[in-house]
A and B are shown apart, each in its own frame.
Chain A
Amino acid sequence: MGSRYLIRKVVGAAFTIMLIVILNFVLFRMMPGSPDRILLRNPNVSAAAVAAARARWGLDDPLPIQLVDYLKSTATGDLGYSFKFHGEQVTDVLLSRLWPTVILFGLGEVLAIIFGLALGAYSGWKRGGPIDYIGNGISLILYSMPYFVIGILILGVFAIGLHWFPTSGMLTIGGGDESFGSQLLDFLGHLALPVTTVAIGLIGQYSILMRSSVIETLGEDYVTTARGKGLTSGRILRSHALPNALLPAVTLIAINLGYVIGGAITVEVVFNWPGLGTLTVDALEARDYPILQGIFLLLSISVVVANLVADLIYGRLDPRVRA
């Protein structure tokens, strides 16, 4: 791969992130309402206390000064203090909520990729067969279903109805047995339903994309040539059709990875999963600017990085885009 192509893409991504950082600041200040006013919902609060909070949160400074402070601290990796969780550093809060989301969506993505692509490839290969019908039908239904509907259905059947899995949270608290094995099992038990929801929600789009992609590839001349050479069906699929059909799927996967946090919100709320999704909703309600800025920064960076990765992989797979 040409190094100029690489440099161009990386610089582009860095510039995008810069713009996002500034936009991030402006966007939240444009929302109506100021975070200190909500403190007045307690009848005991004095004017002095609200003024003190404003000063401590830096809300009294003029906007340009707030922006400069914000840029300076963001550049050094300091995202400030949360308004709602008084005295907690934003980076600490984000880090504690990041990994549950990454595990939930990472695993969900992996499952969806494996099952979705396999189902799509098989459906496309055996086009018109029963698997294609059932698979494509189900995929279409799942594709059009929002996560929270899938989540509520699964919750109703497997947690409330059958009692097979816990309804919410990430770990059983204070269970007494602290051994690694039981903790892991407990975690997996809590993870099962939300991860299934994520996987089911994603399988549809992967399978539909893969199916049409395989069908398209199978009509190409080189597949006909391969058939003419007398290759077995399996060989044609594995060596000729699949690698080419995977190209659009790679893009979709890379872009989807960027939207991990965005997609997290509804699933996490349904299962009360302590990740970035539930944090986002909570921070929005409390007008916790520093937390929201942190989340949006993380979200934007992950989208930009995922796009960059998609570009680079694409460039590697398809020499034409490098020009």
Chain B
Amino acid sequence: MRSPLRDRFARTLAAFGLALAVLLPAASARAATPLLLRIGQVDDLDSLNPFETALELGYEVFTLNYDLLVNFGQNNEPVPGFADSWTQSADQLTWTFHIRDGMKWSDGQPATSADVVYTYQLELNGTKDGGSVGLGYLDPYLKDSFVSSVTAPDPTTVVIKTSRPTSKLVSSYIPILPQHIWKTVTPANVGDFKNNPPIVGTGPYQAVEWKNGQYVRLVRNPYYWGKQGAADQVVIQFFPNAPDTMVAAFKNNELDYIHSPSAEQLNQLKTAKNTVTLATEGNGFTQLNFNAYDKPIPSGGASTTALRDPAFRDALGYAIDKQTLIDKVLLGYGSVGTTQVPAWERNWHVEPNDVRQFSIDTANQKLDTAGYPRGTDGTRVDKQGKPINLRLYFPSTDPSYAKDAQFIQDWYSQVGIKVSSQGLDADTLATDEYLDGSKPLKGQLNYDMVIWAWQGDPDPNALLVILTTSTIGNTSDSQWSNAQYDQLYDQQNQAATDAERKTYMAQMQQLFYDQAPYHILYYDNNLDAYHTDKFGGWQTQPAQGGSPFFVDGSINYTVLTDATKATPAPTPTVNAEPTAGSSGPTASVAPAPAPTDTSSGSPLPLIIGIVAIAALLVVILLMTQRRRKATDEDDE
């Protein structure tokens, strides 16, 4: 009875083999494979509509799809985009942009000044009565430039009038959209416009496929006006909540570039072959922000009035050792933070005078002087005689916040302030720390301190505005209100020249630092890694110490070369200049090892796996042997 079964099995196997043999040649005969640039990052794309994306990834995709009127260059300077040249009138109130002659959309239609007028008018119409367009993230660019009208006297000319002199117009992040595709979209229905692929744009690559939870695939624009990068297609893959898997895929050569691996993962990749790891200065910060709301809130608000006192907040700043946080929490990938304008803003960041030096003694002295004596149990009491026990919250998504919180809890206990810290999910925390102006005050703002981060824009306004009084009830997470700061904000925003603007901004930074509604813990680095054996010509933004991708605009995609075709050695053009001090931006390049090394990945997991399986087998074998011996003895 047995052999027929075996025969049947053999026949099935043969049939399966035959089927495989038919399929396999199809797989091997790959015709003219397009050159793919495969990028991994940890978000899941939310929308292809530029007005509806809340993610850095969304901005990356729309700046690939579309041109801005004026693009961002390698050092964030204005460079030709949809317009190839521009002039400003003598009174500085009229800008004339020249639209490139003969430019076409990716579907072959002519791209003209009418498209600029359509796009800017959509923004102007949507925001004119205090309204917003989509999520409203793109609204400030024209508003802060004081644009009053946009007209197109002829197909290659756009005239924009502003009510004040400003240089912000040429760093506006608004993509120019094709009127012939978008013509039915108005501010009222923009949220319902999906902007399904294939996208029609003037940027270097257009999205042709978006698979929710998987990837977005972009192909080269056949009509692109500028220099073309070597990649025929750009695939951005999504690894939400799975950074380990992303790094594994990168090690396995399934990805060419990864954005935002963890510090530990980046350190591991430093020795991988043909790999460049980058830790670059980021345009953002991680802060400890206080609840400085100045009125009592029934069953809500801060737990002590001390948080409204600048002297108290200032004293607490001496009890934070920022360098230790950078070394221990970020593994060195960050720099000490001071003001709300990150050091990344080279033109605008001004270091404050009298930077606080970490000292528990100074903090204790300052707290004594400010009128917060220790109670009988050593805990300091506020001016109402209430012991100061502060609640510290942070979003549980990023493990580094929890580590920061532990350090701060320990330091503050040394100055007589008890801290209870808790990780909350981002949404709960956001509901706690933002005042909802549309609801009664009761029960709101139930927090004392929060550790979280902000990301900036090319223009420093975004990070300056969140500390103004007008944002309380909206994006203010400190509830700090200072009339002088508010006035300075308007002055810098309306300043006619950059030099004038900077003097106001310097005052704002000093005021912020002294008043301490936040303590900026650090300016985080951006972490990236890429392989050098497939693509060459890597260019970064800024040119010194920047990253290739996930910066402002898509300029660095257009300069990539095919490393397999290039004759010179694939040395990346990254400026691997370690700056003075351990915390500056660094790049490390691992040289390719000797060609005898055939296995590219680490063999460690394999060895562990084999050893574990072998050990298991030995144990089982021993157990069976012993058991058999025992039964044999029983039988006797």
**Which residue of B134, B194, B233 is within 8 Å of A174 (Cβ)?**
B233
Taking a contact as CB atoms under 8 Å apart, the answer to whether A282 and B245 are in contact is no
Taking a contact as CB atoms under 8 Å apart, the answer to whether A40 and B475 are in contact is yes
- Asked if A29 is at the interface (CB within 8 A of a chain B CB), the reply is no
A177-B217 contact in complex given A43-B475, A167-B245, C-beta closer than 8 Å? no
CA distance A41 to B47 in the complex (A): 17
- Asked if A285 is at the interface (CB within 8 A of a chain B CB), the reply is yes
Find residues 66-125 in chain A having any chain B CB closer than 8 Å to their own CB: 84-88, 93, 96-97
- Asked if A212 is at the interface (CB within 8 A of a chain B CB), the reply is no
| One of A15-23, A49-57, A196-204, A217-225 at the interface | A49-57
- Asked if B533 is at the interface (CB within 8 A of a chain A CB), the reply is no
User: Which B residues are CB-close (under 8 A) to A182?
Assistant: 23, 26-27, 30
User: Which B residues are CB-close (under 8 A) to A282?
Assistant: 44, 213, 240-241
**Which residue of B32, B49, B53, B606 is within 8 Å of A162 (Cβ)?**
B606
- Asked if A281 is at the interface (CB within 8 A of a chain B CB), the reply is yes
**Which residue of A155, A166, A169 is within 8 Å of B214 (Cβ)?**
A169
Complex interface bits, A125-156 against B, C-beta within 8 A gives 1, otherwise 0: 00010100110011001000000000001011
A37 to chain B, nearest CB (A): 4
Taking a contact as CB atoms under 8 Å apart, the answer to whether B31 and A177 are in contact is yes
User: Which B residues are CB-close (under 8 A) to A33?
Assistant: 425, 427-431
- Asked if A157 is at the interface (CB within 8 A of a chain B CB), the reply is yes
**Which residue of B27, B38, B134, B438 is within 8 Å of A51 (Cβ)?**
B438
Taking a contact as CB atoms under 8 Å apart, the answer to whether A84 and B46 are in contact is yes
Taking a contact as CB atoms under 8 Å apart, the answer to whether B34 and A174 are in contact is yes
Closest to B219 in A: A174
B46 to chain A, nearest CB (A): 5
CA distance A17 to B114 in the complex (A): 54
CA distance A130 to B399 in the complex (A): 47
Taking a contact as CB atoms under 8 Å apart, the answer to whether B462 and A45 are in contact is no
| One of A6-14, A242-250, A266-274, A307-315 at the interface | A266-274
**Which residue of B130, B254, B627 is within 8 Å of A166 (Cβ)?**
B254
A191 to chain B, nearest CB (A): 14
- Asked if B568 is at the interface (CB within 8 A of a chain A CB), the reply is no
A85 to chain B, nearest CB (A): 6
- Asked if A26 is at the interface (CB within 8 A of a chain B CB), the reply is no
Taking a contact as CB atoms under 8 Å apart, the answer to whether A44 and B430 are in contact is no
Q: Determine the interface band of chain A, counting residues with CB < 8 A from chain B.
A: 35 or more
User: Which A residues are CB-close (under 8 A) to B292?
Assistant: none
A171 to chain B, nearest CB (A): 8
**Which residue of B235, B602, B609, B631 is within 8 Å of A153 (Cβ)?**
B609
Taking a contact as CB atoms under 8 Å apart, the answer to whether A85 and B212 are in contact is yes
B126 to chain A, nearest CB (A): 9
CA distance A172 to B249 in the complex (A): 12
Taking a contact as CB atoms under 8 Å apart, the answer to whether A177 and B132 are in contact is no
User: Which A residues are CB-close (under 8 A) to B425?
Assistant: 33, 285
B18 to chain A, nearest CB (A): 13
CA distance A32 to B622 in the complex (A): 55
CA distance A277 to B140 in the complex (A): 37
A184-B23 contact in complex given A37-B431, A48-B131, A269-B241, C-beta closer than 8 Å? yes
CA distance A210 to B572 in the complex (A): 60
A87-B605 contact in complex given A32-B431, A52-B131, A269-B241, C-beta closer than 8 Å? no
- Asked if A161 is at the interface (CB within 8 A of a chain B CB), the reply is yes
- Asked if A47 is at the interface (CB within 8 A of a chain B CB), the reply is yes
A104 to chain B, nearest CB (A): 13
Taking a contact as CB atoms under 8 Å apart, the answer to whether B463 and A43 are in contact is yes
User: Which A residues are CB-close (under 8 A) to B610?
Assistant: 157
Complex interface bits, A228-271 against B, C-beta within 8 A gives 1, otherwise 0: 00000000000000000000000000000000000000000111
- Asked if B136 is at the interface (CB within 8 A of a chain A CB), the reply is yes
- Asked if A42 is at the interface (CB within 8 A of a chain B CB), the reply is yes
Closest to B27 in A: A182
User: Which A residues are CB-close (under 8 A) to B606?
Assistant: 156-157, 161-162
Interface residues in B, total, Cβ within 8 A: 96
CA distance A35 to B430 in the complex (A): 9
Taking a contact as CB atoms under 8 Å apart, the answer to whether A166 and B136 are in contact is no
User: Which A residues are CB-close (under 8 A) to B213?
Assistant: 96-97, 274-275, 278-279, 282
User: Which B residues are CB-close (under 8 A) to A211?
Assistant: none
A133-B623 contact in complex given A87-B47, A160-B248, C-beta closer than 8 Å? yes
Taking a contact as CB atoms under 8 Å apart, the answer to whether A156 and B609 are in contact is yes
CA distance A209 to B23 in the complex (A): 39
**Which residue of B239, B245, B434, B608 is within 8 Å of A40 (Cβ)?**
B434
- Asked if B67 is at the interface (CB within 8 A of a chain A CB), the reply is no
User: Which A residues are CB-close (under 8 A) to B33?
Assistant: 175-177
Taking a contact as CB atoms under 8 Å apart, the answer to whether B248 and A87 are in contact is no
- Asked if B324 is at the interface (CB within 8 A of a chain A CB), the reply is no
Taking a contact as CB atoms under 8 Å apart, the answer to whether B601 and A163 are in contact is yes
Complex interface bits, B17-36 against A, C-beta within 8 A gives 1, otherwise 0: 00000111011011111101
User: Which B residues are CB-close (under 8 A) to A97?
Assistant: 212-213
CA distance A88 to B254 in the complex (A): 29
A44-B431 contact in complex given A160-B251, A182-B26, C-beta closer than 8 Å? no
Taking a contact as CB atoms under 8 Å apart, the answer to whether B54 and A42 are in contact is yes
A170-B214 contact in complex given A43-B456, A160-B252, A285-B426, C-beta closer than 8 Å? yes
User: Which A residues are CB-close (under 8 A) to B49?
Assistant: 86-87
- Asked if B466 is at the interface (CB within 8 A of a chain A CB), the reply is yes
Find residues 451-477 in chain B having any chain A CB closer than 8 Å to their own CB: 454-457, 462-463, 465-466, 473-475
CA distance A42 to B134 in the complex (A): 13
A274-B211 contact in complex given A44-B140, A52-B131, A173-B36, C-beta closer than 8 Å? yes
A189 to chain B, nearest CB (A): 10
Of A56, A156, A169, which is in contact with the most chain B CB atoms at under 10 Å from its CB?
Answer: A169
- Asked if B139 is at the interface (CB within 8 A of a chain A CB), the reply is yes
- Asked if A38 is at the interface (CB within 8 A of a chain B CB), the reply is yes
Complex interface bits, B243-261 against A, C-beta within 8 A gives 1, otherwise 0: 0111011011010000000
Taking a contact as CB atoms under 8 Å apart, the answer to whether A44 and B241 are in contact is no
Taking a contact as CB atoms under 8 Å apart, the answer to whether B136 and A46 are in contact is yes
User: Which B residues are CB-close (under 8 A) to A269?
Assistant: 241-242, 245
**Which residue of B52, B436, B454 is within 8 Å of A43 (Cβ)?**
B454
CA distance A130 to B137 in the complex (A): 67
CA distance A32 to B433 in the complex (A): 13
- Asked if B300 is at the interface (CB within 8 A of a chain A CB), the reply is no
Closest to A153 in B: B609
- Asked if B595 is at the interface (CB within 8 A of a chain A CB), the reply is no
**Which residue of A45, A160, A169 is within 8 Å of B135 (Cβ)?**
A45
CA distance A73 to B132 in the complex (A): 29
Taking a contact as CB atoms under 8 Å apart, the answer to whether A133 and B624 are in contact is yes
- Asked if B215 is at the interface (CB within 8 A of a chain A CB), the reply is yes
A34-B137 contact in complex given A43-B463, A133-B624, A168-B242, C-beta closer than 8 Å? no
CA distance A279 to B237 in the complex (A): 15
Taking a contact as CB atoms under 8 Å apart, the answer to whether A41 and B430 are in contact is yes
User: Which A residues are CB-close (under 8 A) to B436?
Assistant: 37
- Asked if B636 is at the interface (CB within 8 A of a chain A CB), the reply is no
B231 to chain A, nearest CB (A): 11
A56-B136 contact in complex given A41-B430, A157-B606, A270-B242, C-beta closer than 8 Å? no
Residues of A within 8 A of B (CB): 31-35, 37-54, 56, 84-88, 93, 96-97, 128, 130, 133-134, 137-138, 141, 153, 155-157, 159-163, 166-170, 172-177, 179, 181-182, 184-186, 269-272, 274-275, 278-279, 281-282, 285-287
* A-B pairs with lowest CB-CB distance, top 6: A49-B136, A161-B606, A156-B605, A49-B132, A33-B427, A176-B33
10 A–B contacts, CB within 8 A, in A order: A48-B130, A85-B212, A86-B52, A156-B605, A160-B248, A163-B252, A168-B249, A175-B30, A184-B23, A269-B241
Other A-B pairs beyond A43-B462, A177-B29, A287-B427, 7, CB < 8 Å: A86-B47, A138-B616, A161-B604, A169-B215, A179-B26, A182-B23, A278-B241
Residues of B within 8 A of A (CB): 22-24, 26-27, 29-34, 36, 38, 44, 46-47, 49, 52-54, 130-132, 134-140, 191-194, 211-215, 217, 233, 235, 237, 239-242, 244-246, 248-249, 251-252, 254, 397, 425-431, 434, 436-438, 454-457, 462-463, 465-466, 473-475, 599-606, 608-610, 612, 616, 620, 623-624, 627, 631
